[in-house]
């Protein structure tokens, strides 16, 4: 009898209609723009904008019906996402080997590879990476530790990388997390790739070694295990489009958008998040109602992170507060300067959500990390949207390694600025031209981009040419306040070419 019942349940599950997601291009109204669809609280934060002012976005069946009723003109680009994804080309074994070879050669990484779900790690495979890293590098990474438990009883795992990982030292702290949205696995892969980079290059790369020795860097690869596991069970080959967690909200509705559940300006309006449980941007019954979000809140209050990135896909954008309104924070100059530096490496555009996307979102992680300054220090929080329009939520296998490598430098930078970070801001000479035999004053300007003041900084200049002789190559800078500059005027360089 039991076997018959199980078989019946399995048969019924196979007969249930699968949710079909479409990718559509929506054109703004001449008079109202996109106002006719704002009431539906579409996930516009993860849409892309074309030069003609239109947006491209993935919609489920209910949202597509709402779009049809909105009166806006649209074009269907992909009528059935899963069918489209299943037909994407996959890598041959020799092609995968080439990506692994290049990763080792260029970045010193050999432990990171392809997973079994469309090239992405499954939840269990991702957690296995934490175990593997700790087994190989127990002196610089903690054993994975549980910060919370999901609605369905799955653990939320984190790990810390530092030179004394099992000791809480008074060092600046940074946090990086991924997969808050279950259909964005490139975010998890980016977090894990950075962890491998730090561990496998420690002791060989001076910058990595300094950061590990002088920072406490926390990582949460999978914030939303329930949602990600649901996608694995539903589409084991990858491409599953479930976004939220799997909370049973009653009435046949499941899931809360975890990035609308943070407490700062939670539920500010019904366009930046939705009060409707069936919506993709449902914010939950109350702020921090979801155990995944509450776990990150509690971890943050205890550790006082100064620097934070919440990885997503897709839009090739770095978003910073405010998200709930189209205004900037008092620290907009710092946010913009950080992004200007990081965009040299990832090429992302940047700004607050309203500026970049023309759309506001409330209850987001980046707004809470920055806006909550009572229970914890001010944290410079960002949302990174990885990948372009062609990548979507589930990039092709050939795009996984290029995308995770794209944000290595920004992750290092965000780890730096959690404390002091003095670097060359601009070179300077006492004259525009000089001739062989001239004695020239070099007057470089250094800037402390870090969020902490810097003291007792030693600047050492080394000649890169035998034609140059540096007379005074070491100088001390006593103090550089956060975001301030200091010019060194006592370094003399003899230009001595013949």
- Measured between alpha carbons, how far is 386 from 240 in angstroms, rounded to an integer? 18
How many other C-beta atoms lie within 10 A of the C-beta of residue 7? 10
Active site residue 385: yes
Q: Which residue, 365, 351, 349, is CA-closest to 319?
A: 351
All residues at 6 or more sequence positions from 369 whose CB lies less than 8 Å from its CB, including other chains: 300, 305, 308, 379, 380, 381
Q: Encoding tokens for residue 427?
A: 């070179």
Calculate the CA dihedral of residues 255, 293, 224, 12 and round it to 10 degrees. Answer: -20
The separation between CA 52 and the C-alpha centre of its own chain, rounded to angstroms, equals 28
Burial 403-436 (b: 16+ CB within 10 A, else e): bbbbbbebbbbbbbbbbbbbeeeeeeeeeeeeee
Calculate the CA dihedral of residues 278, 281, 282, 287 and round it to 10 degrees. Answer: 170
Q: Encoding tokens for residue 288?
A: 């921090």
How many other C-beta atoms lie within 10 A of the C-beta of residue 136? 13
Helix (H, G, I), strand (E, B) or coil at 293: helix
Which member of 184, 290, 385, 420 is catalytic?
385
Query: Residues with catalytic annotation?
Result: 385
């Amino acid at each position: 009898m039991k076997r018959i019942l199980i078989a019946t349940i399995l048969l019924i599950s196979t007969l249930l209609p699968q949710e079909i997601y479409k990718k559509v291009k929506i054109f703004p109204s001449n008079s109202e723009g996109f106002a006719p669809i704002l009431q539906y609280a579409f996930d516009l934060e993860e849409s892309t904008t074309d030069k003609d002012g239109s947006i491209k976005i993935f919609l489920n069946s209910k949202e597509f019906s709402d779009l049809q009723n909105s009166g806006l003109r649209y074009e269907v680009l992909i009528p059935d996402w899963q069918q489209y994804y299943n037909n994407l080309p996959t890598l041959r074994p020799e092609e995968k080997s080439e990506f692994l070879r290049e990763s080792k050669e260029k970045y010193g990484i050999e432990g990171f590879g392809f997973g079994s779900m469309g090239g992405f790690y499954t939840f269990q495979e991702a957690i296995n990476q934490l175990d593997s890293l700790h087994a190989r590098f127990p002196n610089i990474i903690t054993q994975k530790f549980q910060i919370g438990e999901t609605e369905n009883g799955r653990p939320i795992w984190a790990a810390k990388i530092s030179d004394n990982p099992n000791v809480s030292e008074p060092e600046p702290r940074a946090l990086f997390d991924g997969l808050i949205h279950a259909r964005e696995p490139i975010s998890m892969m980016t977090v894990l790739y950075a962890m491998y980079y730090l561990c496998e290059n420690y002791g060989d790369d001076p910058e990595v070694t300094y950061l590990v020795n002088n920072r406490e860097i926390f990582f949460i690869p999978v914030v939303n295990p329930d949602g990600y596991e649901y996608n694995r069970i539903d589409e084991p080959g990858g491409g599953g489009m479930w976004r939220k967690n799997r909370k049973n909200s009653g009435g046949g509705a499941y899931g809360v958008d975890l990035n609308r559940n943070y407490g700062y300006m939670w539920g500010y309006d019904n366009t930046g998040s939705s009060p409707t449980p069936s919506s993709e941007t449902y914010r939950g019954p109350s702020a921090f109602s979801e155990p995944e979000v509450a776990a990150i809140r509690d971890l943050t209050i205890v550790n006082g992170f100064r620097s934070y990135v919440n990885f997503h896909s897709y839009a090739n954008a770095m978003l910073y507060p405010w998200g709930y309104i189209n205004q900037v924070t008092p620290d907009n100059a710092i946010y913009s300067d950080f992004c200007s530096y990081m965009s040299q490496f990832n090429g992302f555009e940047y700004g607050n959500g309203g500026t970049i996307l023309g759309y506001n979102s409330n209850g987001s992680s980046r707004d809470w990390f920055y806006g909550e300054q009572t229970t914890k220090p001010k944290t410079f929080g960002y949302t990174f949207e990885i990948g372009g329009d062609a990548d979507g939520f589930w990039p092709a296998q050939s795009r996984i390694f290029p995308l995770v490598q794209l944000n290595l430098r920004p992750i290092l930078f965000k780890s730096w600025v959690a404390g002091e970070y003095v670097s060359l801001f601009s070179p300077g000479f006492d004259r525009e031209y000089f001739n062989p035999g001239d004695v020239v004053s070099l007057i470089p300007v250094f800037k402390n981009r870090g969020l902490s003041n810097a003291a007792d900084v030693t600047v050492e200049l080394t000649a890169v040419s035998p034609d140059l002789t540096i007379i005074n190559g070491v100088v001390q800078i006593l103090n550089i306040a956060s975001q301030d500059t200091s010019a060194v005027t006592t370094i003399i360089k003899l230009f001595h070419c013949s």
